[in-house]
Amino acid sequence: MPTTMIAGRRIHIDTDGFLTDFGEWNEFLASDLAELIGITLTDRHLDVLRFMRHDYVHLGDTPALRRVQTVGGFPIRELLALFPDRPVRKMAYLAGLPKPRSCV
């Protein structure tokens, strides 16, 4: 299984760069990952990431954008502003979840 170093910490990733070990994630790592893709995390970003991780634990699947909107209560426009260009992919990446099935 491939690994990479982020902020001096070795993490397990898949071939697309998504974390493969749910337990390796924390909000500090999310912040480091966000910097790599040009996002500065705010509390609102973290609210979305926390929802996604909670939902993943209960469903066993990375939530789609529509689910984050309807179940999580985050307006689509806000999600698009927080995570521009491929929001679901970025949200999953930053939340330490598997790449969404809807992403090619």
Which among 1, 8, 103, 104 is annotated as catalytic? Answer: 103
CB 35 within 8 A of CB 65: no
HSE value, Cβ hemisphere, 13 Å, CA-based, for 38: 4
Assess whether 103 carries a catalytic annotation: yes
Phi/psi at 69 (5° precision): -70, -55
| Amino acid code (one letter) for 18 | F
Active-site residue set: 103
